[in-house]
Amino acid sequence: MSPELINLIIQATGESLFMVAVAALVATSFGLPIGIFLATSGKGELFAAPKINAILGIIVNATRSTPFIILVVAIIPFTRLIAGTSIGSGAAIVPLTIAATPFIARLVEAAIRDAVGETLSEVILFDRYVGSNLGDGIKSLAIGLILQDRYRTLTDQDADRCTALAVSALESVCKAKLRG
pLDDT tens digits, 84-109: 999 998 999 999 999 999 988 888 88
Q: Does 180 have pLDDT greater than 70?
A: no
From CA 47, how far away is CA 37, in angstroms rounded?
9
Q: What is the C-alpha separation between 143 and 158, in angstroms, rounded?
A: 18
DSSP 8-state class, residue 148: -
- pLDDT band at 75; cut points 50, 70, 90: very high
pLDDT (average), residues 50-57: 90
pLDDT at 165: 83
Residue 80: other Cβ atoms inside 10 A: 14
- Provide the sign of the torsion angle of the four alpha carbons 101, 81, 129, 48, taken in this order: negative
Residues 6-11: what's their mean pLDDT? 93
**111-132 tens-digit pLDDT:** 877 777 777 777 777 777 777 7
Q: Are 49 and 122 in contact (CB under 8 A)?
A: no
Cβ(98)–Cβ(34) under 8 Å? no
Nearest to 39, CA basis, from 119, 98, 155: 119
Band the pLDDT of 12: cuts 50, 70, 90.
very high
Considering the four listed CATH numbers 1.10.3370.10, 3.40.50.300, 1.10.3720.10, 3.40.50.970, the one that applies to the domain covering 3-174 is 1.10.3720.10
Domain spans in the chain, listed from the N-terminal domain onward: 3-174
